[in-house]
Structure 1
Amino acid sequence: MPELGRRERKKQLTRQTLVNEAVRLFTAKGYDQTSVADIAEAADVSKRTFFLHFATKEDVLLADGGRRVDLAVQAVEARAPGTPIREVLAEAARAMIADTASADLPSGLAALRAHLVITTPAVQARALHTAFAAQARIAEALHRAYPQEIDEVAAATVVGALMGAVGAAAVTSLQRGEPPERTHAAMQRAAGIALHCLESPHLSGPAGGAAS
């Protein structure tokens, strides 16, 4: 077990080094001017090792997205009996925002990603694909947890509204050049605003019973 632990730590260190070097190179040289080979060389690994960690160059910018979705799904699955949907989603949002604030905001990755999502079509496309997949996974978990209270369409609606609001607030704050603590606060505020939609009976009513 200790040997497995060392291997995992080495794997995580290599992954983080790839992210750090990619951010540095994207910032210094430009995204389009930086190749996978450049990133691998800067991290002192082979291209093969790069592709063991990331399928594409764009994925380096989304390195922690999967972990954040895991946190959100865990918040839904670990809910106490009788917990209202709004409270569960608020906890899921809190966990995802806190993780972003502790990693991507201070490292500069969030600001770089926000800039490239707007200016670089390949990054924009990959980010949208990743966001839709994340929203679908969280919405599925929410519907499974509350099958009689929220149907698939309503679950997709509230999760999409929540994640879209938080993402838009983050991008706006980062574009304004605000410091990490201000961006963190903007994301929290956006989550609170979006979660007001759950007060509507059209979204929180019985599955299949939503009015048009």
Structure 2
Amino acid sequence: MRERKKQKTRWAIQAHAVRLFVQQGYDATTVEQIAEAAEISPSTFFRYFKTKEDVVIQDRYDEVMADEIRKAPADLPPLEVVRRAILVSFETIDPQEVEQVLQRARLQFQVPALRMRSLDSMQDSIRYLAVPLAERLGRPPDDFRCQAFIGACVGAMINGLMVWVREGSDLLQVRELIDESLSVIADGP
């Protein structure tokens, strides 16, 4: 119960921050303004997010994907395991949340400071998601080939996301774009 309340607070802070970033611009928005909008103190903001960048970058989807990788049927090949995990993570996006996810993605691609922080976060995600894949394959958690494979899948996913960010289409289309991008890993161009 306590953990759910903390997560609810975390995502409420994020929603207020994204709304302010869209209205005022990322650089013009302060942590104090975000805290005021979320009805918390700035010190509470920093208990949930280490930096202003993190309020845009952090999400819950890595955990969803890692869980899906762990519970996928044992007979699925690695690409299908990762494809399902990525697509299921998009299924967990609440319809009311779609616009905020799209706005966060736009901010990450458009704001230089966020773009750089996104690259760091992406490396963390790759290492995090490679662990359950390595477990499935009986390899060490830091297996280079698992990390490279997850990196290729994340790169394919980003290709689909970039089209979505440009076109602002619905969630079904982004899932189709990501699925198509992932198929290139198996089939080639």
TM-score band w.r.t. shorter chain: 0.7 to 0.9
- C-alpha deviation, 1:161, in angstroms: 1.2
Shift of 1:18: 0.8
Report if aligned partners of 2:35, 2:42 keep a CA contact under 8 Å in 1.
yes
What are the within-5 Å matches in structure 2 for residues 130-141 of structure 1?
130-141=121-132
Q: Who is 2:85 aligned against?
A: 92
Shift in alpha-carbon separation, 1:8–1:170, aligned structure 2, 3 A = same
Moved more, 10-19 or 134-143: 10-19
Unpaired runs of at least 5, structure 2: none
Give the 5 Å matches for 1:21-40. Answer: 21-40=16-35
- 1:102: Cα distance to partner? 3.0
AA paired with 2:155?
G
Contact persistence 1:61–1:109 (CA under 8 A): no
> Shift of residue 166 of structure 1?
0.9
Q: How far has the Cα of 1:76 moved from its partner?
A: 2.6
Name the stretch that deviates more: 89-98 or 32-41: 89-98
Query: Relative to 1, partners in 2 of residues 1:188 and 1:36: Cα closer, same or farther, differing over 3 Å?
Result: same
TM-score normalized with structure 2 length: 0.85
1:59 partner letter: D
Greater mean alpha carbon deviation, residues 89-98 or residues 187-196: 187-196
Partners of 1:174 and 1:183 within 8 A in 2: no
Q: Counterpart of 1:165?
A: 156
- Quote the offset at 1:60 in angstroms: 1.2
Describe the shift of the 1:23–1:163 C-alpha distance in structure 2 as closer, same or farther (beyond 3 A): same
Q: Give the paired residue count.
A: 186
RMSD: 2.4
Deviates more, 1:166-175 or 1:84-93: 84-93
Instruction: Write the deviation string for residues 106-132 of structure 1: whole angstroms up to 9, x where unpaired.
Output: 2x2232223222322210111111111
Per the normalisation by structure 1, the TM-score is 0.76
Percent identity between the aligned chains?
A: 29
Counterpart residue identity of residue 124, structure 2: A
Q: Give, as a single letter, the amino acid of the residue that structure 2 aligns with 1:62.
A: I
Please report how far the alpha carbon of residue 185 of structure 1 lies from its aligned counterpart in structure 2 after TM superposition.
Answer: 2.3
Q: Per the alignment, do residues 105 and 12 of structure 1 end up closer, same or farther by CA in structure 2, a change over 3 Å counting? A: closer
Check 1:147–1:11 CA distance in 2 against 1; reply closer, same or farther (3 A cut). Answer: closer
Write the letter of the residue equivalent to 2:68.
A
- Residue 20 of structure 1 is matched in structure 2 by 15
Which residue, out of 168, 184, 189, partners 1:193? 184
Q: CA deviation at 1:159?
A: 0.9
Q: What is the SS of the residue equivalent to 1:55?
A: coil
- CA separation of 1:33 and 1:104: change in aligned 2, threshold 3 A: farther
Q: Which one of 153, 156, 167 corresponds to residue 176 of structure 1?
A: 167
Residue number among 53, 60, 68 corresponding to 2:55 in the alignment: 60
Give the Cα separation in 2 of the matches to 1:161 and 1:191. Answer: 9
1:158 CA drift (Å): 1.8
Report the structure number with the largest CA radius of gyration.
1
User: C-alpha offsets along residues 169-192 of structure 1, whole Å, 9 cap, x if unaligned?
Assistant: 112222123233322322232233
Kindly indicate whether the alpha-carbon contact (under 8 Å) linking 1:15 and 1:53 is maintained by their aligned counterparts in 2: yes
Q: Cα gap change, 1:192/1:97 in structure 2, threshold over 3 Å: closer, same or farther?
A: farther
- List gaps (5 residues or longer) in structure 1: 198-212
> Structure 1: which 4+ aligned runs deviate by more than 6 Å?
none
- Look up the equivalent residue of 1:102 and give its one-letter code: D
